[in-house]
Amino acid sequence: MSKITTVVFDLGNVLIDWDPRYLYRKLFSTETEVEWFLDNVCNDEWNKKHDAGQPFEKGIAELTALYPQFSEQIRNWYDRCEETLGPMDETVEVLAELKKNKIPLFVLSNWSAETFPKAEVLFDFLNWFDGKIISGEIGKIKPDPEIYNILLNTFDLIPQNTVFIDDKLENVEAATNLGMHGIHFHSADLLRNDLKILELL
């Protein structure tokens, strides 16, 4: 295997704990209501549209037309998105060690271009990276191979020298199909071990 010199991180549920339940438990009185809302109203498919570049005003308007009784809760997805986020401190510590070791660090994340700036305000460690590709800014979303090629071409990365870390297996497999070394994220401890094997820590 080629020597790994560069590390690319996904963000959600790798470095940033993202869970809409943190917000919607404040807005609904029972867990059943929360789960129904996240399964049927502000669900994954709706959220992915914004990760792929759709403006929130359009998404909110379309969903509010279907579920007018939830207009406030739908809008809160965007207005109060900070309340769905928290740091994953143990993984951030791994990131800090990589930074200390002067390893080039990059982000490849499915995230709305409108809400990502709010995350940048919350988390100082997002300034530690040498470059970022945010899906909502380019209109492509993992696991589409094109977003990986944009990352590689934008920052002149060599796939065989690059490791990609993501909590979703399909995203890791897409990276490995392009020649990158993939790590399916499960915990900070397992990640640390994997990076030690690659002689990055």
For 81-123, the pLDDT digits (tens) are 999 999 999 999 999 999 999 999 999 999 999 999 999 999 9
Long-range contacts of 53-58 (CB under 8 A, 24+ apart): 53/113, 53/135, 53/136, 53/137, 53/138, 53/139, 55/114, 56/112, 56/114, 56/115
What class is the 6-17+86-197 domain?
alpha beta
Condensed to tens digits (0 to 9), the pLDDT of residues 64-81 reads 999 999 999 999 999 999
Quote the distance between the C-alpha of residue 26 and its chain's center.
Answer: 23
Q: Quick one: which of 155, 110, 148, 147 has its CA closest to 130?
A: 155
Question: Which H/E stretch holds residue 98?
Answer: helix 89-100
Can you give the pTM of this predicted structure? 0.95
- Domain locations along the chain: 6-17+86-197, 19-84
